[in-house]
Amino acid sequence: MKIKKAEPQRTCLSCRKKQVKKNLIRITCFNGKIRLDKEQNLPGRGVYLCPNDSCLASLEAKKKLKLWQRAFRYPASRAELLSIKREIETFLEKKR
């Protein structure tokens, strides 16, 4: 008899909904660089985000800047977050 393993759950930083890890986008901060983690295996502080427009919009919202900085434990600039947002949008377009 096989025991079914539960899939890892993560919480979206923007909407705070829990989802299966593989359905979310992971962004990492390592050595002062914020990067999109396409394979979900890069080292560093990871933050998860839903791949929908409302959650992606939180990357450019001024109100959410402190939230991102606290999650990364790094003083991320708005320009860095906008750059990551563009990278995510390109990644999602290729994935479809």
Q: What is the CATH number of the domain that holds 36?
A: 3.30.1230.10
pLDDT at 96 over 90: no
Output DSSP code: residue 2: P
Which stretches of the chain are DSSP H helices? 53-57, 65-72, 78-95
Could you count the other beta carbons within 10 Å of the beta carbon of residue 64? 17
Which residues are within 8 A (CB) of 9 and not within 5 positions of it... i.e. 6 or more apart?
18, 19, 20, 21
Under the banding of pLDDT at 50, 70 and 90, the label for residue 85 is very high
pLDDT at 23 over 90: yes
How confident is the model at residue 75, as a pLDDT?
94
Query: 39 is written with which tokens?
Result: 């394979």
Number of domains within the chain: 1
Give pTM, 2 decimals: 0.88
Residue 1 counted as domain residue: no
Domain of residue 19: give its range: 9-95
Give the integer Cα–Cα distance in Å for 29 and 42: 9
pLDDT at 33 over 70: yes
Residue 4 counted as domain residue: no
Query: 15 is written with which tokens?
Result: 């909407």
pLDDT at 1 over 70: no
